Structure 1
Amino acid sequence: MVGIGSKWWARMLSIVVERPVRVAFFGSLLLSLIAVLGAATVGRDAAFYLTIAQDVQVDGPQAAFAVFNWPWFSLLLAGTHWVSALPIELSAYLWCALFAAGTCALLVDCVRQRSVQLAPWACLVVLAMPAFNQFRGEILREFGFWFFCILTLWLAMRWQARGGWLRAATLHLALVAAAAFRLEALLLLPALGLWQMPGLWVRERRLALLQFVALPLLGVVVGMVLVSATGGFSSARVAYYLDLINPSSVLASFDLLREQFANSLINKYSQDEAGRIIFFGILAAMAIGFVNICGPFAVPFLRGRNWQAIKRYWHEYRPFAWAALLYLLILLLFFIQQQFMNLRYMSFLNLLFVPALALALQMFAQQFPRLGKALVAVCLLVMLSNVVSSGPGKVQYVEAGRWMAANVEPDAPAYFDDGRIGYYAGRGYRLKQLTREAAMSPAHADKFRYFLIEARGNEPWLTSWLAERNLRIVERFANRRGATVLVITQ
């Protein structure tokens, strides 16, 4: 049996070494399938996108823009349903799984183009790194953003090697597709421009540089013509990003943040240093978050010699490096303006660092063969933990929503603590206009016939409120850990 097991592992290892791109693609699909099968509910963002797609089916594309100012992912889902008749939720999971698989395969192939020996290590990184894989069971427009951004970089590397107007054009088309999912994808344009900048001083590269800039310049000219013809252009999403990078807006936000922090300090000397503390504190928080979602792939960098991987990354994967630097700047501006950081936004930075992480992992395995095998085993366990959940899930939302759909008239006014209850009730996911406290206050409580809230039911504040309003708990739904949704009405 031991011999059979050894042969099986040897065969699997040879497949990974010989076909790392295929393993990354089909391994990614398998991991996504496992994650989706274990998902009890969709996330809030997913319910929002799915509801918009459902509204498009009924009221047309204009319904999407009335709710969200960048609804292209939802329009893709609605179009897929119209063409294939697949349920919108199923088509969303399929698109996200395909985008994830494509992202993994393209990243591994980008590494393979530079080093065949490094590709299997990159395959392990893309399939196990928590930054990317912890979201496999969710429906997110980030999957499309990640895929088309990596596709843009993959096409850029092929265009760099072979040239051609058609390859340059497809590169920019992929970039436009990425921006349709998240507008910050446009940072790849200056990143690739910085990568090509040295070509200005090399005669043989000037034609290539012309190929790269021609289509964006044409787009700018056409855009200016359209703006002048239509009398202007307005988009809340575009305005938001322009404000995000506006120096005066950034400085105003930073000054506000500095003043808020300084007012919380006792020592005057510390107040004078509030700006530095805030700035370096933000950088430290981002660094900690980055390392955290790298998972075990950050371990090789504990050895100083392995930092040479960053040097090789800069020289061999320059477009990735420029994109990472500019995206880090975008994250910094976002942190200053919004005063919070979602690790999901940082995941793209980790994806851009996949070649560096693979290089460091390879170095570590060569330096410490036994520890390298142990680290690979840990990475495989992390790969499974990313997609296998032992938690109870939020099944109470599903059960409460289905109860509403079966027992309550569709137009009966109801307040939902979590909008996903409304989604599973067939009412769609609607952004909350009122907090629970406001909805249950005397000013608004009479507007609702039903309240579906998260509580245990025996809280003193709830008992007194029920008696005061002459209401009662008619149903309750709980998961294995006791998280409960109460249905309250007369």
Structure 2
Amino acid sequence: MDNVLNDDGVLYIKSAEAFAEGRWQEAAEIYPWPLYSILIAVVQKATGAGFDIAAYILNTAFYALLAWAYVACIEALGGSRRDLLIALAFFLALPSVNDYRGFVIRDIGFWPFYMLALLAIFKFQRNPGWGAAAGWGASMIVATLFRLEGLVFLVGMPLVAFFDRPSPWCQRIVRFLQLNLGLAVAAAITLVWLRIEGMQAFLGRLNEPLMWIELLRSQISAGLGEKAASLGQIVLPKYSTGFALPAVFTILLLILLTHTVKSVGALGIAGLAFGARPSAYPHRQTQAFWLAVVLNFGILLAFVVVQFFLTGRYVMTLGLTLALMVPFGLSRAYDRWKQWRGNRPARNWPFVAAVALFLFMVVDSLFSFGVSKAYLKEAGQWLRTQTPADARIYSESTIVGYYAAKRGDEWKRTQPPVEEVVASDAALQNYDYVVILLGRDGKEPENLSGIVPLREFRNERNDRVRIFKAADILNAHTAKAAGRQSDLAR
């Protein structure tokens, strides 16, 4: 972890700063899903730390809560002491969880409350009552305030009440209504909000579910067909064009499957292989677990159909849910291995392999093998200390702009594209410095060709930040224009 804020983290920090200063409307405009930013502001007020440090303190609390909730879920499913120890060790070593410990993202708030909601519903399955139902609803409402997909679980998970076959239907209906207490509270809060704000509230985040439904409908009705047609025309021979649409669906499932496997790791997959059997669970009522898996899979499938990509953090909720199987599976695998081994030391290799996988997970979690982003922070800090206090900076990077911290708006994403800025004398006159980003194989805009940057920062992959004086670019434009005039005069 190189202690550099991520792009979204800049927005949360800036929104938190606005909340702390009482600029609520501006804070909501910076990021219109405010709970995470509000909590950062609260922690900052309570500790007096910087806003970025306050965010990391908050994330540490969320990670601790997530670890506790995960182990508590294993216990609620009937886990033994050994299962709980395996669960704790597996969770603490899970790279997909630790990969985000340096990020400032609202997902880190969503995960523990989602897991607390599962814990409540597992308890409800064993001992139905209003207390567990209220715990489910409250936890899922808070989770939804971090990420809107919590609404899918708030609506879908109460259906688990109908899966309890031994219970009469009247009892199932009562339990279904109990689990919908949270949804009723959420609906009441929404109605009050609309009463205060009016229907224009639907122009913001409340309209997102309808927007996603429309995007999904559009992709299913036309978008997937267009992608299949392109695949058939460009990649497949004419005799194989009938396989284009199945190939598109295969690609979508492969994207989802790959990220899911990464989320639980190799040792997790081994645990799932043994844990996916009902006999692995001391407590057989696992309908809520499987329903959560189905809902997670449906959310991700809808997202990948619309966007055609996934990132690891989007799959974390599914990965954490599947990880509930792993301790039971590993415990069962250990018992099976002891029986198979007997008194033959030559059969120690499965245990040695499992320990090696675990140690690899620990190393992967403790040490970051990703590409460093420290060069972005270094570039921003150089701008802050080595340029005039009133310098006007155009930054293509949100992160560089945040650490430059001059006028305070360099981090905003609403600035024009860099190609437009460096091509226009009128645009360049609004800035003193121009900051551009280049990937390892990236090329500068044509208008910057031949201009020596004032400073350059790079990482080990040769990703670069180049800082130019706007005056140097303007002078180059003037020289090129004069050269063209001279050529015409000849």
RMSD: 3.2
Aligned position for 1:433:
415
Check whether the contact 1:393–1:479 (CA below 8 A) recurs between aligned residues: yes
Tell whether 2:282 aligns with 1:318.
Answer: no
**3-state SS of the aligned residue for 1:47?**
helix
- Give the aligned residue type for 1:91: A
**3-state SS of the aligned residue for 2:457?**
strand
**3-state SS of the aligned residue for 1:355?**
coil
Query: 2-side partners of 1:88 and 1:121: how far apart?
Result: 36
Aligned position for 1:252:
218
More moved, 330-339 vs 83-92: 83-92
- Give the aligned residue type for 2:457: F
Aligned position for 1:115:
79
Q: 1:310 to 1:72 in 2, by over 3 A?
A: farther
Tell whether 2:445 aligns with 1:475.
Answer: no
Q: Identity of counterpart residues, as a percentage?
A: 23
- Give the aligned residue type for 1:241: P
**3-state SS of the aligned residue for 1:341?**
coil
Aligned position for 2:159:
194
Aligned position for 1:157:
122
Matches of residues 375-394 of structure 1 in structure 2 within 5 Å? 375-389=354-368, 393-394=372-373
Matches of residues 55-134 of structure 1 in structure 2 within 5 Å? 55-58=18-21, 60-113=23-76, 114-116=78-80, 117-134=82-99
Ranges in structure 1 where 5+ consecutive residues have no aligned partner: 1-37
Check whether the contact 1:51–1:423 (CA below 8 A) recurs between aligned residues: no
Tell whether 2:351 aligns with 1:372.
Answer: yes
Query: 1-side partners of 2:390 and 2:329: how far apart?
Result: 58
Query: 1-side partners of 2:219 and 2:174: how far apart?
Result: 43
CA-CA distance at 1:151 after TM superposition = 0.8
Q: 1:189 to 1:391 in 2, by over 3 A?
A: closer
Aligned position for 2:245:
275
Aligned position for 1:452:
435
Matches of residues 252-401 of structure 1 in structure 2 within 5 Å? 252-254=218-220, 255-266=222-233, 267-268=237-238, 270-300=240-270, 307-308=276-277, 312=281, 315-368=284-337, 370=348, 371-389=350-368, 393-401=372-380
**3-state SS of the aligned residue for 1:118?**
helix
Q: Any idea what the Cα deviations from partners look like across 1:220-252, whole Å, max 9, x if unmatched?
A: 356446646764242422222222234xx4232
TM-score in terms of structure 1 length: 0.81
**3-state SS of the aligned residue for 1:477?**
strand
Q: 1:127 to 1:82 in 2, by over 3 A?
A: same
Q: Any idea what the Cα deviations from partners look like across 1:277-326, whole Å, max 9, x if unmatched?
A: 222321122112211332222452796x6652698599443222211211
Rg: which structure is higher?
2
Ranges in structure 2 where 5+ consecutive residues have no aligned partner: 339-347, 472-490
More moved, 275-284 vs 471-480: 471-480
Q: 1:245 to 1:175 in 2, by over 3 A?
A: same
Tell whether 2:13 aligns with 1:50.
Answer: yes
Q: Report 1 or 2 for greater relative contact order, CA contacts < 8 Å, sequence distance ≥ 6.
A: 1
Q: 1:82 to 1:461 in 2, by over 3 A?
A: closer
- Give the aligned residue type for 2:249: F
More moved, 232-241 vs 42-51: 232-241
**3-state SS of the aligned residue for 1:234?**
helix
CA-CA distance at 1:399 after TM superposition = 2.0
Check whether the contact 1:327–1:349 (CA below 8 A) recurs between aligned residues: yes
More moved, 141-150 vs 111-120: 111-120
Residue of structure 2 aligned with 1:485, choices 442, 462, 465: 465
CA-CA distance at 1:358 after TM superposition = 2.2
Residue of structure 2 aligned with 1:442, choices 415, 421, 424: 424
Q: 1:87 to 1:221 in 2, by over 3 A?
A: closer
Q: 1:62 to 1:387 in 2, by over 3 A?
A: farther
Check whether the contact 1:61–1:75 (CA below 8 A) recurs between aligned residues: no
Check whether the contact 1:453–1:486 (CA below 8 A) recurs between aligned residues: yes
Residue of structure 1 aligned with 2:140, choices 161, 172, 175: 175
Query: 1-side partners of 2:313 and 2:253: how far apart?
Result: 17
Query: 1-side partners of 2:275 and 2:132: how far apart?
Result: 35
- Give the aligned residue type for 2:207: A
TM-score in terms of structure 2 length: 0.81
Check whether the contact 2:275–2:326 (CA below 8 A) recurs between aligned residues: no
Query: 1-side partners of 2:47 and 2:240: how far apart?
Result: 62
Query: 1-side partners of 2:372 and 2:188: how far apart?
Result: 51
CA-CA distance at 1:482 after TM superposition = 5.2
Q: 1:392 to 1:123 in 2, by over 3 A?
A: same
- Give the aligned residue type for 1:438: E
CA-CA distance at 1:436 after TM superposition = 3.1
More moved, 50-59 vs 269-278: 269-278
Q: 1:410 to 1:316 in 2, by over 3 A?
A: farther
Aligned position for 1:422:
401
Q: Any idea what the Cα deviations from partners look like across 1:73-99, whole Å, max 9, x if unmatched?
A: 112111222333222111111111111
Query: 1-side partners of 2:197 and 2:3: how far apart?
Result: 47
Query: 2-side partners of 1:57 and 1:225: how far apart?
Result: 25
Check whether the contact 1:309–1:360 (CA below 8 A) recurs between aligned residues: no
CA-CA distance at 1:273 after TM superposition = 3.9
Aligned pair count reads 447
Check whether the contact 1:192–1:319 (CA below 8 A) recurs between aligned residues: yes
